[in-house]
Amino acid sequence: MALAYDEIGAAVQKRTSGYSAAPHDASAGIPSAPAGAPSAASDGDLDRKFQLLRSVGEECQTEAELRELLARKKEFILYDGFEPSGRMHIAQGLFKAINVNKCTEAGGIFKFYVADWFGLMNDKMGGDLKKIQDTGMYFVHVWKSCGMKMENVRFVWTSQFIEENATEYWTKMLDISRVTSLVRVKRCCTIMGREEGNLTAAQILYPLMQCTDIFLLRADICQLGLDQRKVNMQAREYCSSVGIKHKPIILSHHMMMGLKAGQAKMSKSDPDSAVFMEDTPEDVRRKITNAACPREKEPRTSKQSELTGEVDGDSDGMVLNNPVIDYIRYLVLENAKGRGTITVDGRTYDEADSLESDFVAGKISEKGLKEACIEKLNGIMEGCRQHFAKDKEASDLVALVEQHKVAVQKEKDQGQVRPTPLRSLRLAEEGVQSLGVVFAPRPGSDLGVTAEAVLATLSCLVRAKQGRHAKLVLWCEDWSCIALDKMQGDLKAIGAYYGILADAVKGLAKQAQVEFEVKVQSTEILRDPNMYWISVIDAGRRKRKGKSGEEPVIGLEEVAGHLPEGEALTESGQVVA
């Protein structure tokens, strides 16, 4: 393994072996039914599966495609990714278990993408990959303990998966960047909890890689929250751009409210905005007792519209921003074991609409509502508490994650900088004291190798020789050319261009007595792809203190400043290249 963190791969394999019924080969697709074969299910069974899946999503893009998928495939792949970044709140734990159980009951294979590299890009846990991966293991334990049926669940770790599929993964990411504008990528920044301004170069990579994950995981359905809708739509747009027939279906689940007034969604940074999976019964009581619990409906905010897909509430745009009822609707009346009931002030409910109507009408009290919610939540969460109390590995992980959080905060308070894993590509063997590198010209609009390009390259090599370097290298940026849409991103055509250019230069270089070696960008990166891209991400995520707070060391302004004179920064591929 090429990672700098050699112990992680084996540890992850060992620690996840009890939770996955299949190996990490997430690239293995599930075959479709052959043309003309009988439907994957009878009409009644197909409708049952459709209704199960549709109940998961507050939005579906599109219902027709979902029905067609169920008719075409007996088994299909759904995916959700999570960025290990600290404690797990109840929406990530219980609510996710409820939805996953519905999806697997409908015939799906659910792939959880443990996005350790994404946590690194987003600077979680101090940008320490080992700490991020420890947190990911804690998440796996939570899901096991709260009723998620694991038989058709697979856990795929980003760092391992990308290394195993490096060529396909990175060329796909480059191709997505080739056809995706910078404006489009910046609109996806809310998937990281970031606004469009003050972005690092690594944060531009984030949505491009998340879009790539969908295709490399062979996902038929993106089953993420509505806050991830923009990047999932980006994947569908990519399909349209390059002519992929079957687009990934988007099945976006509800975003649960924060417990405080005005919180459209839960926040990990605010411990009182949500119930967390290892909260004590006393914590649950305190949080629900203090939670906002209005009876009056309010106009929907723009943030709520973004997070709900504008499908809840009345047609006049009025919604009841009541997180206690939200918890009852999504966690109590539906739970990992199936449908439930709740009794409030002597009235028993098995669905949330009538409970909400009675509460708005004053037929049940706020105190009674909260007491019933507290009792039900504590009962549902008891299995998770017992798991973390009795399972030594689970309890040790909680303690370890807490230690990591304290250490990260201490480093931040003291202004400490974690040692960087940065390492540049090695283009010469050990002992070479001085290396002269000439960047070969990229293909132009005429798509051919021109005499001007050959002579300009030779001239640069001659000047480099005069610098008395021990070795000269002609550097051919084939992967950068994909990102920049040179030769329509055709890697074979780009390779042919550089091959012809190098041969022509070599023919003239003999007369000029210039010796050089040709190095191809993709070949050198693939010698150690994880270390290369970790180095890229780590360099791109760095920030420094500026006049207006933290500023990127390599942000969009810095990228724009390195473009050729007169070239505007408009494409995401320019940042990647």
Same domain (yes/no): 306, 409? yes
Same domain (yes/no): 395, 315? yes
Question: What is the distance between the terminal CA atoms of the chain, rounded to a whole angstrom?
Answer: 26
- Residue 298 forms part of a structural domain: yes
The reply to whether omega before 62 is within 30° of 0 (cis) is: yes
Same domain (yes/no): 308, 384? yes
Question: Is-contact 15 133, C-beta < 8 A?
Answer: no
Query: What are the pLDDT digits (tens) for 149-185?
Result: 989 999 998 888 988 999 999 999 999 999 999 999 9
Question: What domain range includes position 361?
Answer: 281-413
- Residue 106 forms part of a structural domain: no
> 363: which DSSP letter?
S
- Using CB atoms within 10 Å of the CB of residue 429, give its burial: 0 to 12 exposed, 13 to 18 middle, 19+ buried: exposed
Per-residue burial over 250-262, b if 16 or more Cβ lie within 10 Å, else e, is bbbbbbbbbbbee
Domain count for the chain, please give it. 2
Same domain (yes/no): 395, 318? yes
Question: Is-contact 93 377, C-beta < 8 A?
Answer: no
CA atoms of 75 and 106, how far apart (whole Å): 9
Mean pLDDT is lowest, of 94-98, 285-289, 402-406, 571-575, for 402-406
- Residue bearing tokens 């996955």: 20
CA atoms of 479 and 489, how far apart (whole Å): 9
- Residue 393 forms part of a structural domain: yes
Name the token pair of 454: 């050959």
Question: Is-contact 80 110, C-beta < 8 A?
Answer: yes
- Which pLDDT belongs to residue 190? 61
Domain boundary at 354, 381, 413, which? 413
- Residue bearing tokens 């101090």: 126
Query: What are the pLDDT digits (tens) for 7-50?
Result: 323 333 333 333 333 333 433 444 444 444 445 557 889 999 99
- Residue bearing tokens 């002597």: 346
- Using CB atoms within 10 Å of the CB of residue 174, give its burial: 0 to 12 exposed, 13 to 18 middle, 19+ buried: buried
**Furthest-apart CA atoms within the chain: distance in Å:** 98
Same domain (yes/no): 339, 308? yes
Q: Which residues pair with 472 in a beta bridge?
A: 436
Read off the pLDDT band of 512 (50, 70, 90): confident
Domain boundary at 358, 383, 413, which? 413
Question: Is-contact 372 417, C-beta < 8 A?
Answer: no
- Which pLDDT belongs to residue 82? 84
Domain boundary at 359, 386, 413, which? 413
- Residue 349 forms part of a structural domain: yes
Give 374-380 contacts, CB < 8 A, sequence gap 24+: 374/284, 374/285, 374/288, 374/289, 376/328, 376/332, 376/340, 376/342, 377/90, 377/275, 377/284, 377/288, 377/327, 377/331, 377/332, 378/281, 378/284, 378/285, 380/94, 380/146, 380/331, 380/332, 380/335
Name the token pair of 510: 């003999």
CA atoms of 102 and 225, how far apart (whole Å): 15
> 251: which DSSP letter?
E
Query: What are the pLDDT digits (tens) for 315-358?
Result: 557 889 999 999 999 999 986 555 789 999 999 999 999 999 99
**Helix/strand/coil (H, E, C) string of 386-420?**
HHHHHCHHHHHHHHHHHHHHHHHHHHHHCCCCCCC
* Beta strand pairing call for 76-82 and 221-222: parallel
CA atoms of 445 and 26, how far apart (whole Å): 38
pTM: 0.81
Where residue 329 sits, what CATH number does that domain have?
3.40.50.620
